[in-house]
Amino acid sequence: MIPNTDRRPGGPAIAIAWECLSNYTRDDAFSARLTLRNDSLEAIAPGWALCFNTCRKVIASSVSPGYAVEHVNGDLFRLTMPGASAWLPGETHTVEYEALHWAISITDAPLGFYLLPAEGGAPCDLGDPEIAPFARPEQRHRMRGDLLPTADAAWRFEQNASLHLLPDSQVGRITPRPQSARFDGRSCLLSRHAPLSYEPALWNEASLLASMLAGLPGTASDGSAAVRLEIGEVEGMTGMEAYLLDIAPGRVRIRGASPHGVFNGIQSLAQLLSPQGELPAGRVVDAPRFAYRGMMLDVARHFAGVGTVLRLLDCMASYKLNRFHFHLTDDEGWRLAIGALPELTAVGARRGVSLDGSPCLPPSFGSGADIDASAGSGFYTASEFITILRHAHARHIEVIPEFNMPGHARAAVTAMRARYLRLLAAGDREGAEAYLLSDPDDTSSYESVQLWHDNVICIALSSVDRFIDTVVGEVCMLYREAGVPLRVIHTGGDEVPPGAWLGSPRCRALMAERGWSSVQQLHDDFLERCRAILARHGVEFAGWDETALVREGERLLPNPRFAGPDFHVYVWNNAWGSGQEDCAFRLANAGYDVVLSNAANLYFDLAYAKHPQEPGYYWAGFVGARNAFGFCPLDVGAIPSVDPMGRTLEGGTLQALDGAGRNRIAGLQGQLWGENARSRARLEYLALPRLIALSERAWAPDPGWQDIPDPQQRAGAALRDWNEFANRLGRRELPRLDRAPRPWDYRLPPPGAVLREGWLHVNVALPGLAVHYTLDGLEPSVHSPRYDAPVPVDGVREAKLASLDTRGRASRIVTLNVEQP
């Protein structure tokens, strides 16, 4: 069945439905069906094409007879009917095909359809298809050997069964958990008129605190406690981020080892402060476990406006995260204006189908044909970027910009090719070649993970060095104008596809000139040049783990060439069962400064759970808040795991950190890749509450699970700690996010539920969250009964349940069909 559609202005209305038929079709492929109906009042002329994006590569030879599906580039595909007659009103086309891998959720479906009429007519965006339910086992499992159960109501009930509501006194009041927090039962009152004193060096922190206090009630004569901010030694703590928060009935004192420490103390004060200005009296002494506590945001795949970025920075600051890794470029977009190279944004920040012939990038991730109608297009002006830098700096967050190269660089390559063609047409060959990033004679054949065939920079060109130097120089200038130090630039370096450079005459010539026999030597030379360019600008080098690895046969080993304190490696590729689980430890032991960015625990673009309606990828597994919380940074094997298919891992030996290696683990970082972050609401859903769990693991003291020798006792200790943190999320942190001036669209976990002998039993992943239900077929709301004990369901046909936040916003609705006696 496909839905009716309204006639769209400017083009025909086409109803589109999609269904996964089976993931058991054959090894590493699934079968699917597209159903297309012309709902317009007019025939569509022969020669039309229907374009769409999909992360699953269509097998061209499998398409139904009479139809053809062509892979254009990246995730863009084109469906045609060669030799067909007009598409008549009301006529339906049914197209079956096979595609690589599997499809078990809405994220695997094709999206962003648009019609290209015959003879060059204007494209018409059609949107996303109606997706049929994933109901049968062959639709819900990736293969017959997929052992992970679907996260349905019964599975969730079992997962939640070991969690329970704790007494309020056993639930922490501050997140991330401090080193020491003691409260004496007394209270303190603050108001908007609270006297505030501070040292001159703390003007910034005092201003932020004053803004927070301005939202409190009170009058000038209400007897508010006074607040004092000061810099000084924090007894028993080391590091510049340490703080003391001392609260008594008539005063509040925040002492920090530095302004950053004072700022951290203010964040703890904010968490203790009620909307009425009440504070518990007590003493908090605190300092972070790791110096680096980061969050990466990818704005290249889908652009996020300045307001969205500032909002994320505020959230990071409130949970004491202090590094913002800003992924500004990728194959699908370049998001920062560079004055010397306007094509980077004139071409590289525009995605869609150009109507005037001006160059742009093709639609990706469902962004559609209209260049201005989606988050596929957009960029930050210099002034907007400076606003972001200053906002972060005021909150003691270091912004680390990333310009991904030599792979994942199609936006830059395309933009500089457009510049080349423009100047070449004007007769300026020298100017045209000055910033060219590709070899015009390159015949290399490759396909990237994201299905691009032309996304790698030709690293043999001297113009590439000039390009990097120009971009870095302008970025340094923006930081100087913002009054913010620039310490590190991240250069990406991940996922260069095999086959790149092999067909480039320029690369072969350079290799012959230098006497190199392998592409690895060419790549190492490029990294050395990048590092030297950054050093000339006073900036340190950072990259993903591929920049520090060298392949020897089937093994990836640390490359000794770059090891040192000024080469920062972000290690991401650690999926369980991949053989790379201990890659970060091997690199740290080899002398590299390492930021743990482990996909299996810290990739927040991955789906929270294996459910068809849960957005996100799952190549490295499913990552809930508990996965981030349960991460043991210095002993990844301490908590047993399974591979992404749910198979128990064979016993293996992971390399442990040596003493020097432990000191080279700078910290942790969460990654929010943007392929599925198509809106601000979706971005927040993916980020929260996982970001809060990240902050807990990066800041809070080591819970010591890995030091418990007995596996059952170790698992029990981890479960007790998770139960407390889950209570903290459900009863403290999520309600606090609800009270924000603009509440957050964080993920609410759907409740678990089972039917037992005529009774409905319900639980929830975060104790304290309200669950409401209905037995009359209506969707639950705050006006529906709240679950607090098993409910009799004799005579009931259907029960519906949802978790609700304090605003009445509901989770995904859970529907149970009640068996009749």
pLDDT in tens, 551-592: 988 889 999 999 999 999 999 998 888 888 999 999 999 999
CATH code: domain 14-146 is 2.60.40.290
Neighbours of 560 (CB within 10 A): 11
Residue 651's pLDDT is what? 55
Sequence letter at residue 317: A
Residue segments in the chain with a per-residue pLDDT below the cut of 70 = 1-11, 219-221, 650-652, 820-821
Residue 577's pLDDT is what? 86
Secondary structure class of 80 (helix, strand, coil): strand
Look-up of token digits 């374009």: 51
Residue 629 is encoded by which pair of tokens?
């919380």
Fold of 150-174+712-821: Immunoglobulin-like (2.60.40)
Residue 821's pLDDT is what? 47
Residue 579's pLDDT is what? 85
d(CA 95, CA 30): 14
Residue 223's pLDDT is what? 78
Residue 12's pLDDT is what? 74
Neighbours of 232 (CB within 10 A): 12
Neighbours of 651 (CB within 10 A): 6
Sequence letter at residue 338: I
- Cα–Cα separations (whole angstroms), residue 528 to 34, 550, 714: 49, 14, 44
14-146 and 150-174+712-821 share one CATH topology? Answer: yes
The reply to whether the predicted model has a pTM over 0.95 is: yes
- Cα–Cα separations (whole angstroms), residue 743 to 216, 701, 737, 739: 18, 30, 6, 6
Q: Are strands 76-80 and 68-73 parallel, antiparallel or unpaired?
A: antiparallel
Backbone angles phi, psi at 80, to 5 degrees: -135, 170
d(CA 416, CA 437): 6
Identify which of 174, 191, 199, 182 has the alpha carbon closest to the alpha carbon of residue 256: 199
Identify which of 611, 789, 733, 693 has the alpha carbon closest to the alpha carbon of residue 148: 611
Neighbours of 778 (CB within 10 A): 11
- Cα–Cα separations (whole angstroms), residue 550 to 561, 588, 665: 10, 15, 20
CA angle 171, 175, 179 (to 5 degrees): 90
- Residue 766 CA, chain-centre distance (Å), reads 22
Q: Give me the residue spans of the domains in the chain.
A: 14-146, 150-174+712-821, 180-286, 292-707
d(CA 293, CA 238): 17
For 191-247, the pLDDT digits (tens) are 999 999 999 999 999 999 999 999 999 865 677 999 999 999 999 999 999 999 999
Residue 345 is encoded by which pair of tokens?
């944004």
Sequence-ordered alpha helix ranges (H) in 348-399: 382-394
Fold of 292-707: TIM Barrel (3.20.20)
Q: Is 60 left (phi over 0), alpha (psi -120 to 50) or beta?
A: alpha
Residue 2's pLDDT is what? 45
Sequence-ordered alpha helix ranges (H) in 540-689: 583-589, 599-602, 625-629, 659-663, 680-687
Fold of 180-286: Chitobiase; domain 2 (3.30.379)
Residue 221's pLDDT is what? 61
Residue 1's pLDDT is what? 39
Residue 258 is encoded by which pair of tokens?
């530095």
Residue 8's pLDDT is what? 40
Sequence letter at residue 713: Q
